[in-house]
A and B are shown apart, each in its own frame.
Chain A
Amino acid sequence: MAGSGNAHLRGDSALLTVRDLVVEYATDAGVVQAVSGVSFDVLPGETLGIVGESGCGKSTTGRAVLRLDPGTRGTIEFDGERIDQARPQRMRALRRDMQMVFQDPVASLNPRRKVRDVVAEGLVIGGVPAAARTERAATVLAQVGLDEGRFAELMPRQLSGGQAQRVAMARALALSPKLLICDEPVSALDVSVQAQTLNLIEDIKTAYALTVVFIAHDLSVVRAVSDDVMVMYLGKVCEFGDADLVYERPAHPYTRALLDSVPLFDAERGFAGPALDGDVPSPLSPPSGCRFRTRCPRAEELCAVSEPQVREVRGDQYVACHFPLHDTDSGDLPIPTTQHASGR
């Protein structure tokens, strides 16, 4: 999984292209390798889901696209323009087209502004006149299902979590962005509110012809909204591809383990497969070769010395693994080396 390599990139037609993204933080204990050479692209109008556990770099990746954090290397191209070197002024203009919704909805709203002002803030910066701002705020609030008369004058602390997340979405929509990055948008919400919010994301995506990057740890939530899925582990790409393929025929052992760890409603089985041993290693000193090898049931010597590159396993599905899982029925996977063991 130490997925470097660009086999899964789709080139010029993408709205967003990220190549060899590296994000590192210096800490007292050493350098945290949060994202290590991640490449992906997002086609216009599609939703890319990014899944993985804590420390896999999924949120860092989302923030890096908007250049919210320093210490980022790599190439980021948005709508045909290289933005990784863009000057702050240009970046401010670009961010109107690239909006973000964060995990903690209440904390992401300015606590001292009324809902209407929170929503219209980006328009103020854009120089839109006051009357037009008020009208626009009313429109987007209505689009996210909040009645302007009831909510516009409220303060963020008077909102429930679900309402605050709607306000955050209205704020993003006010600028009519092209790209919406949602970082764990529903993980702080109750089940019934989560369903409402997911449906809303789907609705506004259609209404605004949005391209969406949807970052979440919950595999079921990601499946419900994503066209393509990227699975990350410890700063690297494990698997990338069409969501149905990745969920139904996972090629990376880590993807398989994630899916097997999702609790099922089926009381007889509980889980679809065996548990994964151990914990995620420290990003301060990730394992050599494939970063997943210390927990991987299929790991062999090769995995410790050589980092697997992202390569195609079947149309629309890419994996960074020396010994990917293959279908027993069709056996259509290319097998990389002769000594590749049966594993488990």
Chain B
Amino acid sequence: MDKEVGDPADPVTPILEVRDLRVHIGTPRGVVRAVDGVSLTIGHGQALGVVGESGSGKSVTAKAVMGMLPRGAGCSGHILFQGRDLLTLSPSELRKIWGTQVAMVLQDPGRSLNPVVRVERQLTEGMRRHLGVGRAEARGRAVDLLVEVGVPDPERRLRAYPHELSGGMRQRVMIAIALACEPDLVIADEPTTALDVTVQRQVLDLLGRIRRDRGTALMLISHDLAVVAGRTDRTAVMYAGRLAEVGATRTVFSTPRHRYTHALLEAVPTIDHERHTPLRLIPGTLPDPVAPPRGCRFGPRCTAVRTECGAPGPVMTPVGGDHRVACCVPVPPPDAPPLTGDQDGR
């Protein structure tokens, strides 16, 4: 194959390690600390889900990894991709990583594809530049990729412009473009939010199949907890720029320990919700991004808040296995010890 670094046989170095990431963005109202000391790790072939509401910093974290932060944003900390810190690499070194070894799938395929360029060129330009593949071979690979992502009649679709495709087809093309240079990590930022439920299902199945077949690591970002629940090994929950909780997906969803995760899970209606029974509420509103509360940022909305939740606030603390929580008053564990360490990094 075409890559030499990031051998999946090297289990020691995670594919991506974000350490104490801080992103500051200047706005007319003041500085937003969009990401404020976040640390995350994704192992080879592993899927990490990142969930949170508006302003949680989940998308900004992904953009920092991809070098897509707005101009003027300040970024500090470490973003180690295969052990190399992206924040210290030269632009030419970064170009060999972005779009090739780590690729991104965005929310709105209608806006992230170039509307005036045919699918073929958008799909092949990466391989031709980064892999040095000739025109004919690139075309053959493009057809194979479209077949892989389930686009019917691929030869014809190569000649299409994005507007001639449905939303689901465009997102499949986006995924094919992301896969074109055989990345080791795919970052999918709300990949199904703009899609209908039956098409969302198809795209989620596709992402799962790609992981199985290619061993690609995945960072799946979503506001929809259920999207992440069934499709990831580990889950990180973010709130107002900080990490609230991280652990094995099964553990985080079955026995959340952070008060915010717990409240959020209770607030989501499920498909078997009994009609006209009130949903459990999280009181209050999301914090003002330019003036977040001191200490625990969820404190003002938390029903279990105590004095120790004020500044300096909670730090990430292990609560069993690799389940870690930043909460001064964590939800008590259930009677039986929670399942942990069940991520297997297939």
- CB-CB under 8 A from A271, the residues of chain B are 201, 230
Chain A neighbourhood of B249, CB < 8 A: 267
> Smallest distance from the beta carbon of B91 to chain A beta carbons, Å?
36
Complex interface: chain A residues within 8 A of B267 (CB) = 191-192, 194-195
Selected contact of B278 from candidates A199, A257, A262, CB within 8 Å: A199
Find chain A residues with CB under 8 A from B286 CB: 160, 190, 192-193
CB distance from B17 to the nearest CB of A (A): 24
> From residue B58, how far is it (CB to closest CB) to chain A in Å?
12
Q: Which of A220, A260, A267, A276 contacts B273 (CB 8 A)?
A: A220
List B contacts of A220 (CB < 8 A): 268-271, 273
Q: In the docked arrangement, what's the CA distance between A195 and B283, Å?
A: 10
Collect the chain A residues with CB atoms within 8 Å of residue B231's CB: 263, 270
Q: Is the CB of A191 within 8 A of B268?
A: yes
- Least CB separation from B251: chain A residue: A267
A279 contacts B by Cβ under 8 Å: yes
Total A-B residue contacts, Cβ distance less than 8 Å:
138
Q: A190-B54, A223-B269, A279-B166 are in contact. Are A54 and B196 (CB under 8 A)?
A: yes
Among the stretches B7-15, B20-28, B219-227, the one at the interface with A is B219-227
B196 touches A53 (CB 8 A): yes
A227 CB–B CB distance under 8 Å: yes
- CB contact between A191 and one of B223, B253, B273 (< 8 Å): that residue: B223
Residue of B nearest to A49 (CB): B275
Q: List residues of chain B with CB within 8 A of the CB of A195.
A: 267-269, 279-282
Most A Cβ at <10 Å: residue of B167, B197, B226, B250: B197
- A142: CB under 8 A from chain B? no
Q: How many residues of B sit at the interface, in one of the four size bands?
A: 35 or more
In the complex, the answer to whether A193 meets B285 with C-beta atoms within 8 Å is yes
B197 contacts across to A, CB distance below 8 A: 53, 217-219, 258, 261-262
B201 touches A280 (CB 8 A): no
**How big is chain A's contact interface, by range?**
35 or more
Q: Write the nearest CB–CB distance from A127 to chain B, whole angstroms.
A: 36
Residue of A nearest to B278 (CB): A199
Q: Is residue A329 within 8 Å, beta carbon to beta carbon, of the partner chain?
A: no
The smallest beta-carbon distance between B16 and chain A, in angstroms, is 22
Chain B residues numbered 204-239 whose CB sits less than 8 Å from any CB in chain A:
204-205, 208, 223-227, 229-231
Q: Does any Cβ of B come within 8 Å of A4's Cβ?
A: no
Interface residues of B (CB under 8 A from A): 53-54, 166-169, 196-202, 204-205, 208, 223-227, 229-231, 249-250, 253, 263-265, 267-273, 275-282, 285-286
List residues of chain A with CB under 8 Å of any chain B CB.
Answer: 53-54, 160, 162-163, 190-196, 198-199, 202, 217-221, 223-227, 243-244, 247, 257-267, 269-271, 275-277, 279-280
Q: Given contacts A263-B226, A265-B230, A275-B198, could you give 19 more A-B pairs where the C-beta distance is less than 8 Å?
A: A53-B197, A160-B286, A192-B263, A192-B286, A193-B285, A195-B268, A196-B282, A220-B268, A221-B269, A224-B277, A261-B198, A262-B271, A263-B200, A263-B224, A265-B225, A271-B201, A275-B201, A276-B201, A280-B196
